[in-house]
């Protein structure tokens, strides 16, 4: 569970509700089912018209997943360098085929890494591995960020449907102007709620979710490039120390992997 994301989301809505309770003794006026249906229903309808239903549903599922801690972090990146170096020693001693047994357990559940290891053990050259792994990295990133674009579309649609609801409310209010003038204020308040709902959904849900998902996918893409670089160098039979230095050049100096330090800690 990503506690930072959870607390931030709860805090944002908490501030909104707290401001309402602080300023009015009638908070119920800020809750309108019809306004929510216009904004949320209109946004969903527009998304399903614009995109394939499967991707829209995946986008909605991803909103819930931002509550969970990402799989790839700084420590994982450092660990990937260490793993590539260990494998490089194996390749140095027994050749690429020797890597197959060692990597069989490590690649379970990681299709990207498994695919790369299979190319190295099959005898592909470094240039061939680079070409294929780069293509795989970019196409995977492209597929996984389709949902980001859909969430951004929803973020732009929600305020628009909020305005539509407001216009509907204003038309209804103006139609009743010949009646009791004192009822106009309440009608105008209800009309404005749809705009409020549209802005809240866009700025507190859809845009933050799309940004976080994009950031996590960018981190995964970076990790894939890092792993691919190690496999490419292994295919070219580069020394473990060269692989260390080349892979460390991708990372923050604070998390550089050190072969000598790792050997001392093992002994």
Q: Residue 105: is it exposed, middle or buried by C-beta count within 10 angstroms (0-12/13-18/19+)?
A: exposed
pLDDT greater at residue 184 or residue 147 = 147
Q: Which of 126, 142, 166, 164 is nearest to 43 (CA)?
A: 164
At residue 125, does pLDDT exceed 80?
A: yes
The reported pLDDT for the residue numbered 40 is: 95
According to DSSP, residue 238 is labeled: -
If you average pLDDT over residues 235-260, what whole number do you get? Answer: 90
**Residue 181, pLDDT score:** 64
Q: What per-residue confidence (pLDDT) applies to 23?
A: 80
Q: Supply the pLDDT for residue 129.
A: 95
pLDDT at 109 over 90: no
The pLDDT assigned to 263 comes to: 66
Which residues in 134-158 are b (16+ Cβ under 10 Å) and which e?
Answer: eebbeebbeebbebbebbbbbbebb
Q: For residue 174, what are its two tokens?
A: 């103006």
- Mean pLDDT for 123-147 is 94
Which spans in 95-145 are helix H?
99-103, 111-121, 126-144
User: What are the pLDDT digits (tens) for 197-245?
Assistant: 999 999 999 999 999 999 999 999 999 999 999 999 999 989 999 999 9
- Determine the pLDDT at residue 265: 64
The pLDDT tens digits of the residues spanning 171-181 come to 877 777 766 66
> What number is the average pLDDT over the span 146-163?
95
CA gap 106, 230 in Å, rounded: 15
* CB distance 149 to 59 below 8 Å: no
Task: Record the pTM.
Answer: 0.84
How confident is the model at residue 182, as a pLDDT?
Answer: 61
């Amino acid at each position: 569970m990503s506690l930072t994301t959870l607390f931030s989301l709860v805090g944002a809505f908490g501030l909104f509700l707290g401001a309402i309770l602080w300023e009015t003794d009638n908070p119920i006026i800020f809750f309108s089912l019809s306004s929510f249906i216009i904004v949320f229903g209109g946004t969903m309808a527009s998304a399903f018209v614009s995109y394939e239903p499967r991707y829209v549903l995946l986008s909605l599922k991803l909103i819930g997943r931002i509550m969970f801690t990402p799989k790839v972090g700084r420590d994982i990146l450092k660990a990937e360098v260490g793993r590539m170096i260990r494998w490089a020693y194996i390749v140095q001693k027994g050749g690429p085929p020797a890597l197959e047994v060692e990597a069989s357990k490590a690649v379970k559940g990681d299709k990207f890494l498994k695919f790369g290891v299979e190319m190295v053990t099959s005898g592909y050259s470094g240039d061939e591995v680079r070409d294929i792994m780069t293509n795989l990295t970019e196409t995977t990133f492209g597929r996984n960020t389709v949902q980001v674009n859909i969430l951004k579309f929803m973020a732009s649609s929600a305020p628009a449907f909020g305005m539509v609801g407001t216009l509907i409310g204003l038309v209804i209010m103006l139609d009743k102007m010949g009646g009791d003038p004192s009822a106009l204020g309440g009608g105008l308040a209800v009309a404005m709620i749809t705009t409020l709902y549209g802005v809240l959904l866009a700025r507190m849900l859809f845009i933050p979710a799309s940004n976080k998902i994009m950031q996590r996918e960018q981190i995964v893409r970076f990790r894939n490039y890092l792993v691919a670089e190690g496999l490419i160098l292994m295919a070219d039979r580069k020394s473990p120390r060269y692989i260390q230095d080349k892979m460390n050049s991708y990372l923050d100096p604070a998390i550089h992997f050190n072969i000598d330090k790792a050997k001392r800690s093992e002994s």
